Amino acid sequence: MIEDFKKEIAAGYNFKGDSIILGGAMLEGIPNKDLLVQLPLKTLNRHGLIAGATGTGKTKTLQGIAESLSQAGVPSLLMDLKGDLSGLAASGNAHPKITQRHESIGVEWMPESFPVELLTISNDAGVRLRATITEFGPVLFSRILELNDTQSGVVSLVFKYCDDNGLPLLDIKDFKKVMQFLTNEGKQAIEKEYGRISTASVATILRKIITIEEQGADVFFGERSFDVDDLTRINANGSGYINIIRLTDIQDKPNLFSTFVLSLLAEIYTLFPEEGDLEKPKLVIFIDEAHLLFKEASKALLSQIETIIKLIRSKGVGVIFCTQLPTDVPESILSQLGLKVQHALRAFTAKDRKNIKLTVENYPLTQFYDVDDLITNLGIGEALITGLNEKGIPTPLVHTMLCAPRSRMDVLNESEILELTNNSKLVKKYNDEIDRESAYEILNKKLSDVGSSHESERSEVDKKRSKQKEEKSLIEEVINSPGGRVVLREVTRSIMGILGIKGKRR
């Protein structure tokens, strides 16, 4: 049996092109030295999944793959929701367990640091990721606000009005200003051209905007917009940059997280050129805690994600989802994933056992393992792995002892993060906020000009009234004088005489 196993694994994981090493093949719980489990770089744009229960080593697997990609000159983008990936920028520390693990695999372990860029969509230290509201578009912006169809229609109308009238929507204050304008001074104009806007819908939208402002969206929306080409940088030594987006403060905001990820994927798909089948990917994106991406997602959103996942690989981009259960990922997307790294699952409840049964059905059949039993007994740093070979054919399912990360398996301290960001070229490029003329300033100027015009009109009216008042005062002065009263009496008598009215003689 052992010889058949060795032949199958050697044949299934023997690649001609460049590849990365994940670990060593195991049979009956024992690693077979020099029988390595590898991934061809050529098929990493076919996407993947890293799954397993909490504490089984998913994050370290992600870390190790990102390291190997960097060494191979492939940049990566990591969504760090738990805040434990910054250690990639520092060398790891030797340990007897690491030494023993690698000796049994037959792979040398050396501590190493990697080129890292810390990114942020909040006020955390790092390269500031920004996007304008116009770039997000009405559909994604409505999703962030969690609007219904009627309210989303109002948002689409606002975007249309701004496009037609040259009003750039760059940040939150621009959108709020336009909403306020269209329900007050500009109400008649928009109703004539675009239709009536419900006051109740506007009030709801403005309340929602205030909510996302409190969640930090006002920091994200604005300029300078991040250029996704900066995610594909290679350093002077030929190593790919590992870009880590620090997202620890949006774990409880799945809607904001999923919309942000979708917008980023959409922008990469739109702006990256068609590449076809490359010898290695242009960029690999790791989405940790991927269940948040699909949590409470509408059918329309799932359809958008599925479409982008299908098409983005032609741009030389791979996406790897990291989550606890494969069932966290919709079947329509799960079927698109070529690489599967399955860490241990725990069967504490009937629901757990049902999920395990569904998980096992996602993997190729094998004569060497009882997968139902093995999947609950995998040790930390072990996984069941299957990928795609260079021809796109699934590789044999193999129990693997994974290589340990070469970088630090802990986070950077504050002084190390400060040093990293101070030396970043991208921080200098993106962290100065730009506030050019946009809808807010244009409408304020327009309202100011209207106000000045009204002030001029009021000034002319006041002048006329003042003149009339002066004339009236002069007449009253004349009338109130002794001679004036005589004149007035005679004039009155003359008028009464003309009208045929005779005064009563005394």
Element (H, E) at 91: none
For 257, other C-beta atoms within 10 Å of its C-beta total 21
Alpha-carbon span 25 to 8, nearest angstrom: 11
Q: How far apart are CA 271 and CA 119, in angstroms?
A: 20
Q: Exposed, middle or buried by CB within 10 Å (0-12, 13-18, 19+), for 453?
A: exposed
Torsion (CA) 265, 278, 424, 83 in degrees, nearest 10:
50
Of 15, 65, 61, the C-alpha closest to 40 is: 15
Instruction: Return d(Cα 251, Cα 457) in angstroms, integer.
Output: 56
How high is the pLDDT of residue 276? Answer: 81
Q: What is the pLDDT along the chain (506 residues), one digit of tens a residue?
A: 788 999 899 889 988 889 999 999 999 989 998 899 999 999 999 999 999 998 899 999 999 999 999 999 999 999 998 888 999 999 999 999 999 999 999 999 999 999 999 999 887 888 998 889 998 889 888 888 888 889 999 999 999 989 998 999 998 999 999 988 888 877 777 787 888 888 889 899 999 998 888 777 778 888 888 999 999 999 999 999 999 998 877 766 777 777 788 888 989 999 999 988 899 999 999 998 888 888 767 777 788 888 889 899 999 999 999 999 888 898 889 988 999 999 999 888 888 888 888 888 888 889 999 998 999 999 999 999 999 999 999 999 999 999 999 999 999 999 999 999 999 999 999 988 777 788 888 888 877 765 555 455 555 556 566 656 555 555 455 445 555 544 444 433 443 343 344 444 33
pLDDT in the model for residue 356: 86
- Stated pTM of the model: 0.83
Contact between 397 and 384 under an 8 Å Cβ cutoff? The reply is: yes
Q: Residue 4: left if φ>0, alpha if ψ -120 to 50, beta else—which one?
A: alpha
30 in helix, strand or coil?
strand
pLDDT of residue 357: 86
What would the two tokens of residue 288 be? 């940790």
pLDDT score for 492: 39
| Collapsed DSSP state (helix, strand, coil) of residue 284 | strand
- What percent of the chain is helix, strand and coil (3-state, nearest 5)? 50, 15, 35
Instruction: Find the radius of gyration of the CA atoms of the chain.
Output: 35
Contacts of 356 (CB under 8 A, 6+ apart): 345, 347, 372, 375, 376
